[in-house]
Amino acid sequence: MIFRLNPSTGLPIYLQLMEQIRHAIETGALKAGDQLPTIRKMAEDLVMNPNTVVRAYRELQHEGIIELKHGSGAFVSESVGGRARVTKRAQTIVQSALDRLADLGLTEDEIRRLFENELAQHHAEKASGGNHE
């Protein structure tokens, strides 16, 4: 399992590590049930702060992506297997949608506002139980 971090970008290291682990799961480098390196090993290999590793692991546990088993270590959740496949499909959908929107001449910000608007409406629809056209 090889991870790469760049401390000099502005992105906090724990977020970078989380991203890398999520990405590893999505691409199948880490499968459901696999054990993640111990905090100490991760810290030593990547030459990063062990408390930062702890934070990343905890956040991922909070998201349900990994499980911290007391005494034995960190493991990829069983439930992520299915998720990875779905995520891959979703990725393709979003990629093609973005291509088509860009062809229409929309800027990044406009696209972002569009999605946010639609998400908000979608959420509202689900909450009210109705369906709009």
Considering only the stretches 19-27, 40-48, 67-75, 92-100, report the one whose residues sit in contact with other proteins under the rule CB under 8 A: 40-48
Q: Mask of contacts with other proteins, 69-98, x by CB under 8 A?
A: ------------------------------
Helix (H, G, I), strand (E, B) or coil at 31: coil
Q: Mask of contacts with other proteins, 53-72, x by CB under 8 A?
A: --x-----------------
Nearer of residues 23 and 40 to other proteins, judged by Cβ: 40
Six-digit token string for 41? 């090993």
User: In 3D, which of 53, 52, 54, 78 has the Cα closest to residue 65?
Assistant: 78
Task: Strands of 2-130 (E only): list them.
Answer: 66-69, 73-76
Residue 34: exposure state from Cβ atoms within 10 A (0-12, 13-18, ≥19): middle
Counting contacts by CB under 8 A, is residue 49 touching other proteins? yes
> What residue ranges bind other proteins (CB under 8 A)?
7-15, 39-40, 43-44, 47-52, 55, 107, 109
